[in-house]
Chains A and B, each alone.
Chain A
Amino acid sequence: MGEFILQNLNLVLPLFLLALGYVAGSIAERRHYRSIEMREQELVSLPAVTLKEIQEDDAVTGRLVVGSVVVSIDYFKRALAILRNIFGGRVASYESLVDRARREAILRMKEEAASLGAYIVVNMRIEMSAIGQSANRKKQVGSVEAIAYGTALIKQA
C-alpha cells in the first residue's frame, strides 16, 4: 500500500489535496458564513450606504473607516474553476469566495465605525483585487482581497 502510494505520488497527491481542499474548504466556509450572518445581524442598525451626502441638521464629524480582508481559494475550488475554464460558464466555486470577502470587508469597516460611535457610513466603496495573479497557472493557490471604505458620520456631543 505504502509502496503503491509512493510510486503513484503524482496521482495520489492531487487527489489527497482535492479531498483536503473540499473538506477543509467546506468547513471553513460554513463557519465563516455563520460568523458573517451573526455579525450582520448585530450591526444591522448601523447602515452603510453609497450616497455621497445625506441631509443632516446636527453638527457631525466625518472619519474615514476601512475594512479589508484576504480570502484564499482552496485546491478543490481551484480544480473546479480550472475545469470550468475548459467548458465555460459561471465559475460558481469562486462566487461564494467573492461574496464572503465582500461581506467580511463591509463588516470590518462597520465594526470600526461602530467603535468610533458612528451612526452611519456614507459614500461607501468596495474594491476587489486578486493576490497571486498566477493562481491558475503556476500550481499556485491564489487569494482575493476585498477592501471596503467609507465616511463614518459621528454626531458631535
Chain B
Amino acid sequence: MKFVPKEADGAVNISKTHPLAEMAWLGGGLFLLAALVYLGLTLLTGWIVHHLPVDAEVWIGKEILQQEPGIPSPPLKKRLDALVECLPQGSPLKRYDFSVRLIESDTVNAVALPGGTIVVFSGLLKEVASENELSMILAHELGHFAHRDHLKRLGKGIILGAASWLLFKNSSQPFLFTFVSGLDARYSQSQEEDADMWGLHLLYRRYGHVGGSVDFFARLLKKKRQGRLAYLFASHPHPQKRIERLVAAAREQKYPVKAVEPLGSDIQNLLEDLNRE
C-alpha cells in the first residue's frame, strides 16, 4: 500500500449554520415560549380574578395593608357610604364591606385594594375643592372594584414577580417591571377611563347632576403642564383626554351640570390637621 499525502478536509466535522442565525432561532423560540407562558398566565389570572371569593380578597387586602396600614378616615367613609347607598339593587359591590384609609404622602393618587379598601393619599385630598369632586374620586375607585381592576393588577404583579424571580433570582427587577408596565400602560389607561365612566354614572345617581366631575382633572392640568408624550407610557391617561371623554359622556347621557357643594366642615378640619403636620 502506497501512502499518498493528501490534505485533510476538516470541514466535515463542522456544521455550516452561522452561529448568529442559530442564536436567533433558539433565542427567538425561547422568547416565543416565554410570551406564550405569559399570555397563558394572563388568561389564567383573568379567570381567577372573576371567580375569586370576597373572603379571599379580604385576606389579600389585609396582607397588603400590613406593609402600609394608614389610618381609617371616618369623614371619607361617610362620603363613600353615601355613594354605596346610591348603587342599584343587586349590584355585586353590595357584597363588599368598604373602608377608606388615609395615608400621608405627597402622591396625588388613590388606590383600590383587594377586599374593599380604598386608600387615599393625603396629597390627593389636599387638591380636592368640593364635595362633588371628592365623590367623583371615590366613585372612580368604586369603578375599579366594579371592573375588578384591583385584582387584575395584583395578578399581573404576581406573574411579573414570579417571572423576575425565575430569571434573575431577584424579586424587584426594575428593568423588567418598567418594560412590561410600559407594555401594559395602554391597558391600564383604558381601565382608568372605564372607571371614570363608571364613576360619572354613580355621581349622577348620587347628586342628580355631574357638576364637579372634571374639576379635579382641570386643576391637575393647570398645575402640571406635561405634554401628551409623557403620558404615552403612564398608568393614567392625560387629564385633558379624561376631561374630554367625561364631558362627551355627560352630554350623551344628557346629565345636567349644576353648582357644586363646598367641602363639609369635617373634611376641612381634616385638611387643616394635615397641613399643620
Contact = CB atoms under 8 A, between A and B. Distances in A.
Interface of A: 7-8, 10-11, 22, 26, 36, 40-41, 44-45, 47, 49, 76-77, 79-80, 83-84, 86-87, 90, 92-93, 95-96, 98-99, 103, 120
24 contacts: A8-B175, A22-B20, A26-B19, A36-B10, A40-B7, A44-B6, A76-B19, A76-B23, A77-B19, A80-B19, A80-B23, A83-B23, A86-B26, A86-B30, A92-B14, A92-B15, A92-B17, A93-B19, A93-B22, A95-B13, A95-B14, A99-B13, A99-B14, A103-B10
Nearest to A44: B5
Contact of B8 (A40, A76, A95): A40
A83 B26 contact: yes
Given A22-B20, A79-B23, A83-B26, 15 more contacts: A7-B175, A11-B175, A41-B7, A44-B5, A47-B3, A49-B3, A76-B19, A77-B19, A83-B23, A84-B22, A92-B14, A92-B15, A96-B14, A99-B10, A120-B3
Contacts of A76: 19, 23
A8 B13 CA distance: 40
Nearest to B26: A83
Nearest to A99: B13
A40 B175 CA distance: 50
A41 B10 CA distance: 13
Interface in B1-40: 3, 5-8, 10, 13-15, 17, 19-20, 22-23, 26-27, 29-30
Contacts of B7: 40-41, 44
B168 A10 contact: yes
A72 B8 CA distance: 24
A79 B26 CA distance: 10
A8 B176 CA distance: 10
A123 B47 CA distance: 69
Contacts of B20: 22
A11 B27 CA distance: 15
A84 B174 contact: no
A44 B3 CA distance: 11
Determine which residue in A8, A36, A41, A77 has the highest number of CB atoms from chain B within 10 A of its CB, and name it: A8
Nearest to A18: B23
B143 to A, nearest CB: 35
Contacts of A40: 7-8
B22 A92 contact: yes
A78 B22 CA distance: 13
B107 interface: no
B170 interface: yes
B5 A47 contact: yes
B8 to A, nearest CB: 7
B26 A45 contact: no
Nearest to B175: A8
Contacts of A120: 3
B61 to A, nearest CB: 31
Contacts of A79: 23
Contacts of B27: 83
A63 B230 CA distance: 78
Please name the 6 residue pairs, one residue from A and one from B, whose CB atoms are nearest each other, closest first.
A83-B26, A92-B15, A99-B13, A8-B175, A44-B5, A96-B14
A80 B26 contact: yes
